[in-house]
Amino acid sequence: MASTGEGGSEEYDDSSLTMMDILEEQEALQEDAEAVLGASDADHCTYDKGYMVRQAVYACLTCSPVGGAGGRAGVCLACSLHCHNNHTLVELYTKRNFKCDCGNSNILMTTCKLQPGKSAINPDNKYSQNFDGLYCVCHRPYPDTEQPESQDDEMIQCCCCEDWYHSQHLGNSSVPTGDQYAEMICSACVKKLTFLHNYASLAVTVMSKSDLDTSVDVESSGDSTAVADNVMQKTEQKSESTKTEVSGKKAYVNGSGSSTTTNDQQNGQRKNKETKENTGDSTKDNITNGKQNKVCSAGQFKGAVAESEAMFFPEDWRSKLCTCDTCKVEYSRLEASYLTNSEDTISHYEYLSRQRVAGTGRQLSVEREIDALNSVDRVTRTEMVTEYNTLSTELREYLRKFADTGKVVRDEDIKEFFAGLQARKKQRTMDGVPPNACRW
């Protein structure tokens, strides 16, 4: 119990802050979960919806073991809960253009309880090492119990192949922070998608330490012009079409904000203009058989590409992709047409998830809980924090066995935990422990 001495007010504030931190952390976790699962249906299989633009997918290693005869397979959220409970599941976050495999020939041990009579296979599904529970070029699981130090390294998902990579394995000397970019394309996909050099100046560029050191304390260097020119020259070598003002305080450059054009672009624009003027009809060159074709804009954001490094792009970079007929054919040939679909992005998927959550009337807010805390006295509040911490510790210990075995936590398991909790609390009360001093 908390004391009511002279330092009571400070203790009151500490208790209040601790509980508010707990509530805010709970809200953050809820937001993350609903961003991924909010657009999913927990009770109905998604098979009838076909190859969905994006959905949450799980791999069942119990029904489709690594190297098994059935091959790799993935199931939707509802099937993971209703058909594969108590199985070893791998949460794959989301996958594009995927159709639920539950109950087909890839799933050897389970018949779909929600949607029987499915086709034997889903030929357009694409499977990667993720379905075996492995990630990155290091081909390791996550979390990696044999290499726990790797868990401190952030894993980033490639928006093209959708594999996850440790930041230290991307091939980049430095990686931007999460708030500096929206999507990453791994080096393997950069090498495959040859059209990306046409959009290299849109990429977020992390300045090297030597560049930053050069630009530090420019005002006191005595020759700020020479230093600025030196930094500018290095920047231009990284991106031919982007000229960037550099300061020691700026850690990255977003090329999409640049309005500067290269000489090649200017010359190309002049030639294009002259050609149209010579025809006497600016639209004549763009009309074939009575149909107007879109002028190709590829190359407008051209720049140098390092195929051994990943590329990082801002939120709106896809809107700059050219969608003329020629470029569309190229995207299709490289199986990258999804890049021109605004509904393909993770940010759009999470937006739909949050919209659905908002439509249910649920609110992600801690205001009601904070109001409840403010209505109780300091002693009670302090005890609530202590009880919560004890409960949290016991619950983590109880859930650890599920994490270690890869089993899904069912409603029955949670009910069992709280039933045992109540039984222990009741026994301690009967043993004479005062209610206000009980510890779950």
CATH code, domain with 172: 3.30.40.10
Q: Pick from 345, 31, 344, 310: which is nearest to 156 by CA?
A: 310
Is 269 part of any domain? no
Mean pLDDT, residues 41-68 taken together: 92
Per-residue model confidence (pLDDT) at position 58: 94
Split at pLDDT 50, 70, 90, the class of 193 is: very high
Q: Are both 21 and 141 inside the same structural domain?
A: no
Name the band, by pLDDT with cuts 50, 70 and 90, for residue 162: very high
H/E segment holding residue 417 = helix 411-430
- Is residue 19 within 8 A of residue 388, CB to CB? The reply is yes
Looking at the fold, whether 139 and 121 belong to one and the same domain comes out as: no
291 burial via Cβ count (<10 Å: 0-12, 13-18, 19+): exposed
- Greater pLDDT, 390 or 290: 390
User: Does pLDDT of 46 surpass 70?
Assistant: yes
pLDDT higher than 70, residue 89: yes
Confidence of residue 114 (pLDDT cuts 50, 70, 90): very high
By C-alpha distance, which of 181, 148, 180, 186 is closest to 167? 186
**pTM for the whole structure:** 0.62
**Looking at the predicted structure, is the pLDDT value of residue 231 above 90?**
no
Residue with more model confidence, 103 or 283: 103
- The domain tally of the chain equals 3
pLDDT given for residue 117 in this prediction: 87
Q: Side-chain half-sphere of 42: how many Cα atoms within 13 Å? A: 7
| Confidence band for 320, pLDDT divided at 50, 70 and 90 | very high
In degrees, to the nearest 5, what angle opens at C-alpha 410 toward C-alphas 406 and 413? 100
pLDDT at 174 over 70: yes
Q: CA–CA separation, 359 vs 353, rounded Å?
A: 10
Structural domain span for residue 416 = 14-36+366-437
Same domain, 388 and 246: no
Same domain, 106 and 179: no
Domain-terminating residue out of 127, 143, 170: 127
Q: Are residues 337 and 398 in the same domain?
A: no
pLDDT on residue 146: 86
Contact present, 183 and 291 (Cβ < 8 Å): no
CA torsion angle for 283, 286, 289, 291 (degrees, to 10)?
-90
pLDDT value, residue 161: 98
How does pLDDT run across 369-411, given as a tens digit for each residue? Answer: 555 556 556 666 566 666 776 777 788 788 877 777 777 777 7
Q: Would 230 be classed as within a structural domain?
A: no
- Domain shared by 376 and 333, yes or no: no
